Amino acid sequence: MYVLGIDVGTSSIKVSVVEIATARIVVTVQYPEKERAIISPENGWAEQAPTQWWGDVQQAILKAHATQKYVPKEIKAIGIAYQMHGLVMINRKHEVIRNSIIWCDSRAVTIGDTAFQAMGENYCLTHLLNSPGNFTASKLAWVQQHEPHLYNQIYQILLPGDYIALQFTGQTTTTVSALSEGVFWDFQQCQLSAAVMHYFGFSADYIPTVQPVFGEHGTLLPDVAAQLQLQPGIPITYKAGDQPNNALSLNVSEPGEFAATAGTSGVIYGVTDQLVFDRQSRINSFAHVNYTNDAQRIGVLLCINGTGILNSWLRKISGASISYAEMNHLAAQVSFGSDGLLMLPFGNGAERILQNKTLQAHIANIGLNIHSSAHLYRAAQEGIAFAFKYGLNIMRENKLVPKVIRAGKANMFLSEVFADIFVQNTGVPLHLYNNDGSIGAAMGAAIGAGAYNSIQEAMQHQQPVAVMMPDKNKMELYSQIYNRWEALLNEKLSNPIQSL
C-alpha cells in the first residue's frame, strides 16, 4: 500500500509515491521539466493561474504512474504541500475568480503596514505574531480596494493547497496553520481573528471549514479518480504550507529543531513552544503542522525571496543550454570571494528581512578584464549564503539559536560549493537528507491516515546522506568577505534606486 505526496511549487509540481510499510520512496517526478514562469503584470507583482497548478498536478501524477513502479489503485491517501501565502478566490461554482496573487507579490505592502498601525502594533505582534505585512489578508484587501467587481464575486478564499484539494474532492477545507500564514489567526484567543476580519471588513463566511493538518480534507471524486487512475473515495489526509511541510519531512517538529530550504526562495525554519515574534516583523511566526491549542508548536520562518531565482536568472541570461550542475562546477573553479565580485540577491519582491523593502538585486565591483560567467555563478551562491547569515543573525536576536540545520539535498543544496559556503557563514553544522517536499507530503498523508502514531515514528529511519561542519579558517575568511557584502547592502538600503 502506498501514499501519494504532492508539492505545489512556484516553478513546478513534484509528486512522490511512498510505500507505507517501509517508508520507501518508490518514485519522485517533476512536471513540467521547464520552470513555470511567474506572471508579473506590473513591477513588484507576482501571479500564477491556479488552473495551471491543477493541470500540472494531474500531469505529474500520470507521469509518476508511467514509471510502472507501483499499482496506482493501491494508493490509500494523498498529502498536499504548497507555496505559502497565495490568495485563491473562488465563486459559488468553485470557479477561480482571478489569478492567484502569490507569496512574492509586493503590491499589498502599504496596506499591511497601514493595518499594522491602525490595529495596533502590540495587538498584531502578541495576537497574530506578525504584522499583516504582505500576507494573504493584505492581498485580499488589495483586491477589495482595487478590484471590487471581482471581490464582490467571492464565495470563499483558499490557500494554494486548499484549491488543489478542492479539485480532488469538491470540498473546501483549511487549517489553523494555513490561517496563521495568511495572518487570520489569533493565537491568544485560539480562533479566527475577529479584529482582522473587522478591520478589513471581511466576512467570516469567506473562510472554509477548519480541519486539523493531519485529518480528512475530503475524498476523491469518482470522475477525478477515473482520470487519474486512482481509487474513488481515497482521502486527502494532510495539507501544509511548503516550509512547515519541509520541516516535517526533515523530522523538525519539536522546540530547538531547525530546517532549511533553498529553492526559488530561501528559508530557515525553527520550531519553538513560545509565542515568538520579531518587533520589526523581519522573521515570521506561524502554527506548525503539529500545533494544537494545548501544545503550541510555532514555526519561526526566515524567508529570503531572492534565492534560487537568482541562480535561475543567471542560467537564463547565460543561455539555457547550460545546466545547474555545470554552473556549480564552474563556480567551484573560482576562489573564495569571487575576486571581489559581490551580489545582493534581493530581486524578487519585498523582502521581510529588510522590513518589506523592495531593494532589487545588485552586482558590484565587476572587473571587465577579470570576471567571467563562473565568477557570476560563485558570487551569486556567496551572496545568497550571506543573505542567509544576515537573516540568521535576526533569528539569533530573537533567541532562536540552531545547533544543527537539516536540509533536503535538493535545489541549491545540490551544489557542494553552496552548501559549504552556507555552513561556513552560518557557523552551524548542516545535515543533508535525500528528501523533498513531495516526500514530506506523502509521509504527512500516512500520518494523517493513521499509518503511524507520531511524526517521530514516521521519520525514525531517516539518516543524513552528508554532514558538513564549520571550519574555523574558512569562517574567518568568509567573515571578511561578508563584512564587505553587508556594507554594500547597507549602502543600497540607504540609497535605494527609485523606479521611473
Tens-place pLDDT, residues 403-432 = 999 999 989 999 999 999 999 999 999 999
Tens-place pLDDT, residues 225-279 = 999 999 999 999 999 999 999 999 999 999 999 999 998 899 999 999 999 999 9
Distance CA 500, CA 482 (A): 31
Confidence of residue 498 (pLDDT cuts 50, 70, 90): low
Confidence of residue 500 (pLDDT cuts 50, 70, 90): very low
Tens-place pLDDT, residues 300-357 = 999 999 999 999 999 999 886 899 999 999 999 999 999 999 999 999 988 999 998 9
Confidence at residue 472, expressed as pLDDT on a 0 to 100 scale: 96
Distance CA 287, CA 298 (A): 5
Residue type, 195: A
Confidence at residue 497, expressed as pLDDT on a 0 to 100 scale: 67
Count of C-beta atoms within a 10 Å radius of residue 336: 14
Does residue 185 carry a pLDDT above 50?
yes
CA angle 53, 80, 307 (to 5 degrees): 65
Contact present, 419 and 468 (Cβ < 8 Å):
yes
- The reply to whether omega before 50 is within 30° of 0 (cis) is no
Confidence at residue 320, expressed as pLDDT on a 0 to 100 scale: 65
Confidence of residue 211 (pLDDT cuts 50, 70, 90): very high
Q: What global pTM score does this model have?
A: 0.91
Confidence of residue 462 (pLDDT cuts 50, 70, 90): confident
* Least confident range of 87-96, 368-377, 476-485, 491-500: 491-500
Residue type, 423: V
- Taking CA atoms, 423 is separated from 40, 473, 485, in Å, by 34, 12, 17
Identify the H or E element spanning 14. Answer: strand 13-19
Contact present, 103 and 85 (Cβ < 8 Å):
yes
Distance CA 234, CA 213 (A): 17
